[in-house]
Chains A and B, each alone.
Chain A
Amino acid sequence: MIGWLISGLPRRALILGAILLVVAVIAPALVGDYLLTVLILILYFAYTGQAWNIMMGFAGQLSLGHALFVGLGAYTTATLFVYYGIPPWLGLFAAVAVSMACGALMGFLAFRFRVAGVYFTILTIAFAEFARTGFDNWGYVNGSAGLFLPVAQYTQNDLWRLRGQPAMFYYVLLAATIVVFIGSRIILKSRLGYYCLAIREDEQAARASGVNTFRYKMYAVMISAGMTSFAGMFYAFYYNNLFPEQIFNISRSIEIILAPLVGGVGTLGGPILGAFVLEGLAEGLNVLLNAVGIDIPGIKQVFFGFVLLLVVILLPEGIWPWVARRLGLTERR
């Protein structure tokens, strides 16, 4: 299994991966509280980016509504926990089921009725916005007033109920990111992955060669939706508050896609590298702005807008393919 997974990868890539893993595992012992929260953010965007990547990067379906799945995951696990005391890891099953069902509905409608390209993207936005206004007006989950998880000073980490200190959340998210990374690798090396890539490159040709494009697009959407809902659970239990206006907002969806875009759509290293680069830039900018004494809301976003602009213009394939070529990490074929 492991041999099959790493076959084709140059030794350098494996060594680099192992070093990264060790550094990631011991990092909480080395960095302070603040830097740990930054690392958590990086992992969060690496995770969600990788999950989104399965749909866009592999199967070529551009979603700008992934906040929908984050929100569904967050609200499902949080309501089950707050109202019924069901621990998040059990609630996660429900959350994944809800998100996959919603993704399946969206995918079914879109692919059955041949909603493609820009229209598909707008459909994903419409679903997310629909959910946003719906949750805003849904009394059961407290509507726009928001849903809050009980917060207390935790001396012990309760992994089962996800109550505890940032270091615990860090390791949970690190494990999840590794899982989604390996999962994506498995998908890419399997029939599903090859079919998805074929659909991305040329759907007509894929269909002509006998690929059931409808089915594999559905798989991609559902897997991506289910994986993204885990990020929702994490969000809910890490931040302890949920507002439809925030979690379903289209700017959340845009945030999710930034890391894989900057890193490289459809690559495995892309979302991780992209998350590092973007958060690194953001933190650097923070330090710089603090040093100069400028505190203007919006200036960071303008900066990100320009980064995105430059990447789209100059490196349409993202940073990762370029870095991988330079470091000799590309896969042998």
Chain B
Amino acid sequence: MPIDIFLNVAVGGILAGLVYGLMALGLSVIFGVVRIVNFAHGEMMAMAMYLSLLAFGLFGIDPLLMILPCAIILFAFGYVLQRTLINRFITRPEHSQFLLMVAIAIIITNVQLIVFGPDARSVQTPYSFDSYQFGRLIVDADKLYGAIAALIVAAALFAFFRFTKIGTAIRACADNYTGAQVVGLNVKRLYALTFGLGCACVGASGAILMISTDVTPQFGPVATLQAFVIVITGGMGSMVGALLGGVLIGLTAAMAGLLFTPSIKAMFVYGILVLVLLFRPQGIIGKKTL
């Protein structure tokens, strides 16, 4: 096989990995602050994908323009969910929290099945088949746009946590729960805000993903597992780690698909997960919280 093919597939994998990284970023932010593992993460992403699909079908809006609306809607969804349900589970044992999220995930997936049916749906954008050529490298336009959009959203989130007052307050909550309460921060509200922000990430990534991927109700659980793999690989609670993990997993999946058969991709991805869990459970980037 010529080296060009490897290069092209590798770049494609990295670009796709960035979008998955953004999705996983949401999971990581939620875990890093609220200490809840959002087992309905991929299902929420499927929600955003269906929202973009609807917007495209009804009004012909490009999914990339749906990034902000999806992020806002999912933010509201996450905020309300945290306030009404998840907040009571903060002090419950881990498996109890896990089951709550599993129940929510089951409901979301099957409501999607009822509303949209089991068939795969996709969006045809004008640039679906375009590509750019850089020397010998050929890049699909939709993947390139998606990766750029993902990086912009991730950068905005970084900036928010770094430079705004609320962002700093959230980081304080993650660092020291009691301390945050002592200095008078409204921890409950900040938790809900964080959960909403994590969901906004997943909303944005869902809209982005819609330009290059089919959506089915079954996509949700698969994406949840993928988000877990990425976050654990990169390091739970680390923002850079999530993006790095996304790139690594995207690259691995693309290369495994090229060297073996595409259907065997998942085996390599889970193989990496098992190895990371065993030898570097804190992930590539350590266990720093945000």
Give chain A's interface residues, CB within 8 Å of chain B: 56, 62, 109, 113-115, 117-119, 121-123, 125-127, 129-130, 132-134, 136-137, 144, 250-251, 254, 261, 296-299, 301-302, 304-306, 308-309, 312-313, 316
Contacts and interface: CB of A to CB of B under 8 A. Distances in A.
B277 interface: yes
Contacts of A302: 106-107, 110-111, 114
Q: Is the interface of A mostly helix, strand, loop or mixed?
A: helix
A170 to B, nearest CB: 29
B58 interface: no
A108 to B, nearest CB: 10
B279 interface: yes
5 contacts: A127-B270, A133-B270, A299-B110, A302-B106, A306-B107
- Assign chain B's interface to a size class: 35 or more
B281 A115 contact: yes
Report, nearest first, the 6 A-B pairs whose CB atoms are least far apart. Answer: A298-B113, A305-B107, A305-B106, A298-B110, A301-B110, A308-B103
A316 B103 contact: no
Contacts of A125: 225, 228
Contacts of B107: 302, 305-306, 309
B76 interface: no
A296 B113 CA distance: 9
Interface string B100-122: 10111011011111100010000
Interface in B41-96: 85, 88, 92, 94-96
B73 to A, nearest CB: 21
A250 B221 contact: yes
Contacts of A305: 103-104, 106-107, 110
B147 to A, nearest CB: 26
Interface stretch (B7-15, B134-142, B258-266): B258-266
A133 B269 CA distance: 11
Given A113-B279, A129-B266, A250-B221, A119 B106 contact: no
Count chain A CB atoms within 10 A of each CB in B94, B98, B99, B271 and give the residue with the most. Answer: B99
